[in-house]
């Protein structure tokens, strides 16, 4: 079977803050989310495209449908395409949005489809379709929280997703089950059965601090898990940020918040 996506070579650099360098042959292209671009050689043409660029020959309605699916996942209507218009090989690089790992996904070795968290997608070979994974179960839509809207990457080319913190890769045997915090899912192969389950127990619900629901993943297939979802990172930064522009007296102090009560807090 001939490839319908552009065939790209790549190399990933770095440890905690990684970037991926993609090598493009003449007339090869890669598409990326806005804000992920890092650097590129001359003779690479950057262009804003409507949708993901995978259905350029499908007419106006096809392009509108492709872009509309991106709106459902909270992404922009537009993506950026980087095309090598020169004579030789050229490089373009894309950076991680926060500390973690860049995970290369070869769609040709994953049955042509990979399902990922809505904010995990970084970039892909031109021709890869970036859409929404529609759920067949009501439980996912009503109770999935940050993990219920999933993106699907379809095609036979390379795609790159980002995992926050440390990335764990789990290979599930047929019928083997794994329970994961919904925000900690990076993505999984197309044969993995995915659902949302209630944590259960009044103490878990009220005092557990981990949310009311978790994702249940059942094999066969491969699952990628992140230790630091962006939502968790953002909430911790927001909770620790001083209010009112003043210096946080509790920072580095044994008394911490108690010191604010004893000495007075004039930040507000």
Q: Characterise 201 by phi-psi region: left (phi > 0), alpha (psi -120 to 50), beta (else).
A: left
pTM: 0.77
Alpha carbon distance 67, 49 (integer Å): 10
Any domain includes 214: yes
CB 186 within 8 A of CB 194: no
pLDDT at 135: 60
Any domain includes 17: yes
Any domain includes 258: no
pLDDT at 261: 46
Alpha carbon distance 43, 87 (integer Å): 8
Any domain includes 253: no
Average of per-residue pLDDT across 152-169:
93
User: What Rg do the C-alpha atoms of the chain give, in angstroms?
Assistant: 21
CB 36 within 8 A of CB 95: yes
Alpha carbon distance 196, 30 (integer Å): 34
Quote the number of domains for the chain: 1
Read off the pLDDT of residues 208-246 as tens digits, 9 standing for 90 and up: 444 567 888 999 999 999 998 877 777 778 888 886 655
Token duo for residue 114: 């990979």
Any domain includes 262: no
Cβ neighbors of 56 (< 8 A, separation 6 or more) are 63
pLDDT at 1: 46
In CATH, what number is assigned to the domain containing residue 122? 3.60.160.10
Average of per-residue pLDDT across 101-105:
96
Residue 50 has pLDDT above 70, yes or no: yes
Percent pLDDT > 90 in the chain is 45
Any domain includes 267: no
Alpha carbon distance 152, 234 (integer Å): 25
Read off the pLDDT of residues 252-268 as tens digits, 9 standing for 90 and up: 444 455 445 444 555 44
57: containing domain: 9-233
Any domain includes 246: no
Any domain includes 34: yes
Cβ neighbors of 264 (< 8 A, separation 6 or more) are none
Element (H, E) at 65: helix 59-72
């Amino acid at each position: 079977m001939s490839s319908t996506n552009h065939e790209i070579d790549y190399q990933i650099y770095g440890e905690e803050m990684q970037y991926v360098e993609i090598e493009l042959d003449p007339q090869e292209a890669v598409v990326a989310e806005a804000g992920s671009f890092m650097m590129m050689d001359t003779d690479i043409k950057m262009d804003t495209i409507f949708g993901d660029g995978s259905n350029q020959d499908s007419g106006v309605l096809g392009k509108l449908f492709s872009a509309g699916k991106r709106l459902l996942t909270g992404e922009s209507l537009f993506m950026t395409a980087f095309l090598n218009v020169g004579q030789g090989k050229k490089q373009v690089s894309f950076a991680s949005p926060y500390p973690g790992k860049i995970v290369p996904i070869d769609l040709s070795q994953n049955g042509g489809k990979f399902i990922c968290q809505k904010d995990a997608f970084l970039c892909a070979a031109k021709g890869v379709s970036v859409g929404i994974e529609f759920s067949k179960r009501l439980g996912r839509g009503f109770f999935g929280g940050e993990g219920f809207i999933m993106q699907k990457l379809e095609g036979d080319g390379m795609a790159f997703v980002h995992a926050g913190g440390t990335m764990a890769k789990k290979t599930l045997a047929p019928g083997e089950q794994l329970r994961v915090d919904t925000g900690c899912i990076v993505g999984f192969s197309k044969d993995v059965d995915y659902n949302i389950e209630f944590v259960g127990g009044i103490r878990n619900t009220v005092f557990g601090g981990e949310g009311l629901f978790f994702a249940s993943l059942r094999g066969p297939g491969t699952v990628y898990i992140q230790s630091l979802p962006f939502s968790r990172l953002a909430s911790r930064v927001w909770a620790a940020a001083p209010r009112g522009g003043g210096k946080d007296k509790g920072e580095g102090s044994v008394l911490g918040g108690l010191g604010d009560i004893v000495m007075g807090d004039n930040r507000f």
